Amino acid sequence: MRWIGFLSLVALSECLVTIPLTKVKSMRESLREKNLLRDYLQRHPYSHAYKFLSREGVTFQPMRNYLDLYYVGTISIGTPPQEFKVIFDTGSADLWVPSIYCSSPACVTHKNFNPQRSSTFQRTDQPIELLYGSASMTGQLGYDDVRIGDLVCKSQAFGLSWTESSKSLEFSAFDGILGLAYPSLAIKDTTPLFDSMWKQGLISENLFAFYLSSNKKNGSVVMFGGVDHSYYRGELQWVPVSEQGYWQITVDSISMDGKVVACPDSCQAILDTGTSLVIGPANAILNILRNISANTTRSGEYIVSCDAIQSLPDIVFTINGVAYPVPARAYIRRKRTGMCYPNLDMDSPDGSSRWILGDVFLRLYFTVFNRANNTIGLAPAMA
């Protein structure tokens, strides 16, 4: 996880008619046949329709796109439930939210969990500290019931913050982080939330998937326990996870206009929903910037001509023999100032060869994170 900058309940049951010996189509089936399903979900991104339209063992959690920087969904903790907005982050493995014990400015501006108001809260004396790319938190470990949509994970481990660093947390549109990486990255002797879903029999398949909307549109969703095929085109291409910590894969090469510009002998990459940009080693990113004729400003930022976006080449990530192009409209962003900036960043110049494929990449490709066989499925996302 890295930070880069920063109805009403519808009584659908009244509409259902049961006729002996006749199969009645569900609302989901009827909408899909008329090619209206995704439009309906986008118009009602926070409605309870997700619950009613999901099949048994699959839960759809809508998320809001905040300025193409990050995606935020709502969960609740405790009994009665206390709601929080969180980033569903495949780049970390722990769940934490602000608590009433925190005095940091970031806690003042966000909702705080009050364990005294939850009859199911279990306190521990275990302190925790979580470090992210541009922020950190300290706090204590607790256990309580956590709800995502119609799922309830009993006695789930989570962090209650005491301190939260950085301005990015203070002014963020989210309260906390919900990690979805492998257990090896989690706090020692705790079970991450997704693993709890599976162990407690709440989902039908040991996987989850992301559809991230582009251009600040509604309709983003994370689905647990199954895959909705209406969110992507063609067939999913499966890629083996190369190391089970982050969701890490092997990239064959990175090219532009048929010429390899980075990763000539393969490299490792992390698919990270908690990172907004594409991040790579300094030398590789600099080579890409040269290929798009980027210039530096007095402040050291890289800019490109906005008029050139239509003619700039795709950045093509070849993964497991399949090409995944990222067009200039995705890797270049236009600011209100009229300037255009690459959605690319350099990792610390320590010789690391690992890439981070963040939301710039994931908005283009529907992504399935399959723990059953430790693979990642990729397919072009529906526009």
Residues recognised as catalytic:
89, 272
> E strand or H helix at 359, and its extent?
helix 359-362
Query: SS3 of 134, please?
Result: coil
Give the residue carrying structure tokens 């999901």: 54
Eight-class DSSP state of 73? E
In our burial notation (b when 16+ CB lie closer than 10 A, e otherwise), range 40-71 reads bbeebbebebbebbbeeebbbbbbbbbebbbb
Q: CB neighbours of 271 closer than 8 A, spacing ≥ 6?
A: 90, 247, 248, 249, 357, 361, 362, 367, 369, 376
Query: Is the separation of the CB atoms in 221 and 209 below 8 Å?
Result: no
- Token pair, residue 286, equals 């600099």
- Adjacent-strand bridge partners of 22: 19
Eight-class DSSP state of 251? E
* Count of C-beta atoms within a 10 Å radius of residue 225: 23
Q: CB neighbours of 303 closer than 8 A, spacing ≥ 6?
A: 294, 295, 296, 297, 339, 340, 341
> E strand or H helix at 96, and its extent?
strand 95-98
Q: CB neighbours of 192 closer than 8 A, spacing ≥ 6?
A: 93, 94, 95, 179, 180, 181, 182, 183, 186
- Token pair, residue 160, equals 């209650």
- Token pair, residue 134, equals 């541009």
d(CA 51, CA 54): 5
